[in-house]
Structure 1
């Protein structure tokens, strides 16, 4: 009988397997979700058991960006340790095959990657000796070795609370680059980028003018280098979505900025909204809600709106 630990670990490996050729298709994502949705019953788990919202968020971390060979090896090692019965092993192998073939085309990279993963699963000992090995230290040793591999779950809080900061760091790590900013400043600028992007995409489209206004705001208001400002803006625009927890982002941004800084930031939001020559009612309402979430009064919101338009408050 598969347990919750096996289900979650298997889900991660399914996603890692889909990433073997460097991309994940929507068919592969849908296949993995469909299999996972039916897995609890297929694996004879407690009726009605489902992954929690936190567990789905963890899986989303693996869907969002590529899983390299080192991280895939860590996940496969964890899956080996989670296997308890021959039935578990058979289930895992069947599901791996189904997800990789979900888009109807299996690349050479996927074929090689699938063979590598299946070989590792085949080697997992689900018999009595394997259970004794886990009991007396074998599994502990394997988990210790696996822990040395990359583990994006260590940054789960950033993924949930400051998605742009998380994604900036993921891209920097993948590209072997770094920024000349300390952690606190990068967190703040990433949050600013996310909030600006939220306003810019109110009408579901971020124009070139709005993108440029966002990058210029980071440059002029916080003295961020041009290349860094553009990079943060690119990530912010690519990551903003209705599913992000704006309340958490506003709360963290408020904790990292002064009241005066937040007042001036509301001006920036109006300048971003006006970059395409008009500020819509929907954009104004979005900014009003953000101002409220940043602990600013309605009068401060109005003053910022007028300042952005080159007017003075009465």
Structure 2
């Protein structure tokens, strides 16, 4: 049995079910992680563990809502890896546990749970089901039915290298709109937004002044209209957290900007950090690390820091 494939696919469906009511609570996210760490029978007991790329793939589904068509595609994928009655029972139990995670079950969650449970129960299993080549025809039929459903995994590389760009594209697709910006400029804009959001999130909270500072920074740095700057700011602050490693964003941003732009961007990072009235030690250290990642010198960092009034520098 492909225990790893079952756990990973079940994880995607669990997350899709969590989006049933259009939002994912912290309790549901914690439940997803717990379920995947401690799934009985296939996980802990057989020594199966998800690797870093697996977790990143699951995070892909946590970032933005999973719609009905995409959820159906994932359910079909899950149907294709079920081999034993125990697999079916495990899948139903995992999804039910997630639905109950936050203590409140909405009508939307109930309907989605029933839909997924029925799909799981509809899979006919027998002795030959454990041999994947014997069930391939059934899998092909199910897959054909959802062949044109959304599949965000096509953009996994963008998610890894430029998370804000990925999130911007996802939101534009959901809203069926577009920005009048060439793709390369949009990628650059998204990287800038991501790094600004990283600084804004350093102290684990973003207030209105920091939000406005990010908007102004994007307007000034890339000469954007306010509507576009607001849109990218909203997406950036949602897609980037204090815990996100900015390494790939820094590397990509350094490749698409010249030194003069990066030095100017350093001033903008400090302006965002100072928007709430002061630049604390954590923010100062975060910007120092970003400056290093952007291949800027320590004197350039110090010069940018000195642009902040002394009374606002807490470190």
Same fold, TM exceeding 0.5? yes
Q: Identify the residue that residue 272 of structure 1 maps to in structure 2.
A: 272
Native 8 Å contact 1:85 1:126 kept in 2:
yes
Alignment of 1:259 with 2:254, yes or no, is: no
Q: Which runs of structure 2 are paired with 1:24-173 in the superposition (5 Å)?
A: 24-39=24-39, 41-43=40-42, 47-127=46-126, 134-135=134-135, 137-173=137-173
Moved more, 118-127 or 71-80: 118-127
Native 8 Å contact 1:97 1:114 kept in 2:
yes
Runs of 5+ in structure 2 lacking a partner? 310-315
- CA distance, structure 1, for counterparts of residue 247 and residue 201 of structure 2: 17
Q: Offset at 1:65?
A: 2.2
* 1:276/1:86 CA distance change after superposition, 3 Å: closer
- CA distance, structure 2, for counterparts of residue 103 and residue 200 of structure 1: 29
- CA distance, structure 2, for counterparts of residue 255 and residue 214 of structure 1: 22
Moved more, 225-234 or 124-133: 124-133
Give the root-mean-square deviation of aligned CA atoms.
2.5
CA deviations over 1:246-274 (Å, ceiling 9, x no partner): 11110000011111111111122222233
Alignment of 1:203 with 2:203, yes or no, is: yes
Q: Offset at 1:298?
A: 2.1
Q: Identify the residue that residue 286 of structure 2 maps to in structure 1.
A: 286
- CA distance, structure 2, for counterparts of residue 2 and residue 46 of structure 1: 14
TM-score, normalization: structure 1?
Answer: 0.87
* 1:97/1:267 CA distance change after superposition, 3 Å: closer
- CA distance, structure 2, for counterparts of residue 254 and residue 50 of structure 1: 35
Alignment of 1:216 with 2:216, yes or no, is: yes
Q: Identify the residue that residue 230 of structure 1 maps to in structure 2.
A: 230
CA deviations over 1:146-165 (Å, ceiling 9, x no partner): 34211122222222222222
Q: Identify the residue that residue 312 of structure 2 maps to in structure 1.
A: none
TM-score, normalization: structure 2?
Answer: 0.87
* 1:106/1:172 CA distance change after superposition, 3 Å: same
CA deviations over 1:21-42 (Å, ceiling 9, x no partner): 2223333333333332222x42
SS in 2 for 1:199: helix
CA deviations over 1:70-107 (Å, ceiling 9, x no partner): 01100010111111122222222232223223333322
* 1:71/1:301 CA distance change after superposition, 3 Å: same
Q: Identify the residue that residue 312 of structure 1 maps to in structure 2.
A: none
Runs of 5+ in structure 1 lacking a partner? 310-314
SS in 2 for 1:91: helix
Moved more, 150-159 or 282-291: 282-291
Native 8 Å contact 2:204 2:242 kept in 1:
no
- CA distance, structure 2, for counterparts of residue 190 and residue 225 of structure 1: 15
